[in-house]
Amino acid sequence: MSEERPVKTLAGRVRDFAVQCHEEGRDFGVDDIAEALMVQTYKEKRRLGCTLRDLMGAGEVVRLERGRYRYVLRDRKPTKEEIMWWHLQQGPVDIEYLIRMADVTADYAQEWLNNLLHLGVVRRLESGKHQLLQRLDEMPKNEVKTDRLRRIRRIKKEARAQLDKLGDAVQRVTELIDQIDED
């Protein structure tokens, strides 16, 4: 009795092809994948494009130019901000969409979009969606979050210093009480 091998998903087969191209040091396009996977119909070829888009969203594939892609080895999962940034680059997004796609809270998505509004990177459309104003090579840093984290670190450092002083004072008071008890 022969052991059945599990059938790979389309994404798995596309990923295998992309990895093979990476090992050979070459980029690829949808036509290359279609030929390798023996895709024949336009409908199947469209599914390849959608699969490639999903792999780009996952950070496994990068677009070099229109129609040309390269597999990249990822040693970590993309952050929630990277996922939101990728979706924003695809077209206008609203908070509910970001919540679903990046698994973030409404407050987090709103804060992230507000930061991009403040930086002048996005605009709010009448529909309530947010649209990227210009293509950027990198996602802008969240200065509001960075400033808040710096402030929190500074406050924690000051609080620890005050606790150390308080601990020293308590120890000194304990020593004085011990002296009184000895007399």
The pLDDT tens digits for 3-31 are 555 667 888 888 889 989 988 888 999 88
Look up residue 16 and give its two tokens. 């295998």
Domain ranges for the chain: 10-71, 80-132, 143-183
> Which has more pLDDT, 183 or 81?
81
CB 84 within 8 A of CB 104: yes
Common-topology check for domains 10-71 and 80-132: yes
Encoding tokens for residue 140?
A: 């802008």
Q: What is the pLDDT of residues 19-70, one digit of tens each?
A: 899 888 889 998 899 999 998 888 988 998 888 888 888 778 888 888 899 9
Q: For the chain, give the percent of residues with pLDDT over 90.
A: 20
Strands 122-124 and 130-132: antiparallel
Does domain 80-132 sit in CATH 1.10.10.10? yes
Q: Decide if 121 contacts 142 (C-beta within 8 A).
A: no
Structure tokens at 27: 């980029």
Give burial (CB, 10 Å; 0-12/13-18/19+) of 33: buried
Question: Is the pLDDT at 1 greater than 50, yes or no?
Answer: no
CA-wise closest residue to 59 among 34, 85, 33: 85
CATH class of domain segment(s) 10-71:
mainly alpha
